Amino acid sequence: MLMVHHDTGKSYLEQQNESHMEQYSGVNISNSMFPLPTNVCRVQQWDSEEPVPRAELLAGVAGTRGLLCLLSDRIDREVLDAAGPDLKVISTLSVGFDHLALDEIKKRGIRVGYTPDVLTDATAELTVALLLSACRRLPEAAEQVKSGGWTTWKPLWMCGYGLSDSTVGIIGLGRIVPLTRLAEESDFVVVTCALTPATQGMCNKDFFGRMKKTSVFVNTSRGAVVNQEDLYDALAHGRIAAAGLDVTTPEPLPTDHPLLSLKNCVILPHIGSATYATRSTMAVLAANNLLAGLRGEPMPHELKL
């Protein structure tokens, strides 16, 4: 979380060079991924990878002109009220924006920058990795090696489902297909859509009930798109074969959550965009969005409200 208290209208990040980009790679996000110029604006920075405590956020945000936040920072009416009328720009280090109270933000005339496109490849790679991990039972097989369960080669031991010659249904990409048809015909269902009122809880008991018993479900969008109780029931009772999740509700998922007790459910800690290069590019874009907004200029990527 960064809070900007003043801006002189000077340009800064347009002169990034390759050596400067290398400085960002693999470092603590709170230290140097957002090197906003102190001679251009006064920056108040939360120096930790953990979310800023709510009380400190509400106290620190007062009088700020700009906010640079993460998807773990809930920017709601309370935060906006605490910031006051000087707040002009919010820049989020994410492509998703369900953590932002967009109706309130729009009413106050606050501009919003976000980071689409630059994380597409990394998230696609992670989606394929998660799909293969779930369908080929990779975490379960690795655990067998560690626990001594690997005794000899066996014809059907650790068998899963292959991707070749299968039908992959992707929710959130390409031509619109009725959800019922996609669920019924797909060997793999991959969810990549945005979280909206229309998609919240969309993957539920009825949806899972229409899927094949041999099908695999993967979600790399937002956790709330899925009814997790219904997903657990479908996995536990063999109504679908397996699932891979990079997103959950809540995040982090409690360690005693029922889904974590299932061998046929692979859960990752929301790492879809987690490559050094992608996170560095996202950071620069988020900073550029913030500074452009403070200068009253077009943002590289502005969310149209």
Q: Which residues are catalytic?
A: 270
Name, in order, each residue with C-beta under 8 angstroms of 163's C-beta and a sequence gap of 6 or more.
131, 132, 135, 188
Question: Distances from the Cα of 137 to the Cαs of 115, 129, 197, 235, in angstroms?
Answer: 33, 12, 33, 14
11 closest CA partner among 53, 49, 40: 40
CA–CA distance, 152 with 157 (Å, rounded to integer) = 10
Q: Which of 179, 184, 138, 192 is nearest to 161 (CA)?
A: 138
d(CA 264, CA 42): 50
Cα separation, 23 vs 19, whole angstroms: 7
Q: Kindly give the pairing relationship between strand 2-4 and strand 43-45.
A: antiparallel
